Amino acid sequence: MIHPVTTVTLNPAIDQTLEVDHLTVDQLNRVDSACSNAGGKGINVASCLADWGIYVCASGLLGNDNSELFTRLFKQKKIRDNFVRFDGETRTNIKIVNKTSGGTTDLNMSGQNISQVYLDRLLQRLSAIENGSILVLSGSLPPGCPEDFYTHLMQELAPKNLRIIVDTSGPALSSILTSHAPAPFMIKPNLHELETYVGRDLKETNDIIHAAQELTNRGIEKVIVSLGSEGSLFFSNKEALHARPPKITSASSVGAGDAMVAGLVAAALDDLNVEEMAKLATAFAVGKLELHGPNLPSKERINALAKSVTTSHINN
Catalytic sites, residue numbers: 258
Strands 240-244 and 80-86 turn out to be: unpaired
* Closest of 258, 289, 264 to residue 43, by C-alpha: 258
In which order are the strands placed within the sheet that holds 163-167?
A: 80-86, 56-63, 5-9, 134-138, 163-167, 186-187, 222-226, 232-235, 240-244, 310-313
* 294, 37 contact by CB (below 8 A): yes
Phi, psi of 243 (to 5 degrees): -105, 125
Distance set, CA 304 to CA 140, 245, 263, 295, 301 (Å): 33, 12, 14, 17, 5
